[in-house]
Amino acid sequence: MAKLRHSAFLSAILSLPLTSAGQAADLIGFWDTQQKGGNSFNELTPDAAYFDALAETGATWVRLTFSKWKGEGRDFLLGNADNYQGLPQEDVVKLRKALDAAHAAGLKVVIVPLSLPGARWSQQNEGTFDHRLWTDPAYAEQAVRFWSDVAAEFKDHPAIAAYNIVNEPAPEKNTGLAENGAMSDLVAWQEEQAGGPRDLVSFYNRVIAAIRKEDTATPVMVDAGYYANPRSLAAWPDRLNDDRVLYAFHMYEPYEATSSGNMKREEPYRYPGVTTLYGGEELSWSRPDVVAHIDKAFDWAEEQGLAPTRVVAGEFGCMRRWQDCGTYLKDVIDAVDARGGHWAFYAFREEWEGMDYELPLSLKPGRFYWMMEEGKSGDIPRDGKLMELLKEELNG
């Protein structure tokens, strides 16, 4: 059944002309039914084989970042995040080629930068958080121009299902606001920032207005604040001004257990049971707590009169060698499915073994990188049980 569904979807997508903006880019209807996919956060530009392999899992969409790719300038597609001057044409060609390959595989694509002008991704910024976008209005102007240019350039491409304005924005960082503090604090902080450079709602409205001057049809995806935390989304006073918006959150809570740091502990934290500070109190995480955290986004959307299909779990995951990863993944997926939202697991065949669920436990840490360096990537075993779990959910 999964192959039949994928075949029908592929035929429908490939029947669309490559330059039909009115048909191909007008994709809010794509999001009217639940879509399940994966994230592509690779340093190398994904090729046809990569997208074919992702499509074979049952995924219908891919959240694709290009910011790790080698570009014409320092920052791919931006040229330089310190001073945006236009889209480098070599980068445009490279991104278009990747989009063509995804389209040929029958996948819809959400493109997402890790960096914007004045907000260079910390891993490409010597580990330092770049907050200029959230303090200097000049960079917001550059970000608006960047997205206007992107929309003008790619609005006709049939693979694109949404523009995701930026990955995991954190205008709240370095302001004294705790990421998972009391909800009343999050709401008060949002009210204080209204109209200022840290007001993410205002920033998104400006960017979307610029996009709409070039492209009236393609949906826009927006990550919640504080690294796409659903609680930060729930603190927003209103939905955005555009009707073609998808509201995204990421799910790694309890981060102390799901992240790589946990695997360095002599006795890694377990799930359920790990205790963290949450909402100003200690919380011992279990399945109902995962559900409650995720429900923050869906409850807010419902209050705003939005359908659950306007909410996206844009990323979720855990370290593949963590013994509770399967239980955690299933609990997250069940919580999103129960509300009828979209989801995309993190990540598919990244050049990092940590969250590559195709890799079996028998592949010891470090062996993956050795095989890659020795040119033996084709011999890497990809029969991991976690990927089998994900495939069942992707095709369910």
Query: Tens digits of per-residue pLDDT, 16-25?
Result: 434 333 333 4
- CA separation, residue 32 to residues 112, 293, 307 (Å): 21, 23, 9
Q: Return the pLDDT at 26.
A: 58
Mean pLDDT of 280-308: 98
- Among residues 229, 248, 169, the alpha carbon closest in space to that of 202 is found at 169
Percent of the chain exceeding pLDDT 90 equals 93
The predicted pLDDT at position 128 comes to 98
d(CA 134, CA 131): 5
Is the pTM here over 0.85, yes or no?
yes
The answer to whether the beta carbons of residues 233 and 304 sit under 8 Å apart is: no
Mean pLDDT, the chain, whole residue set = 94
Cα 63 to Cα 111, 176, 208, 363: the distances in Å are 6, 31, 19, 27
pLDDT band for 81, please (50, 70, 90 cuts): very high
Q: What is the pLDDT of residue 279?
A: 95
Rounded mean pLDDT, 211-239: 98
Q: Quote the CA–CA distance of 204 and 163 in Å, as a whole number.
A: 12
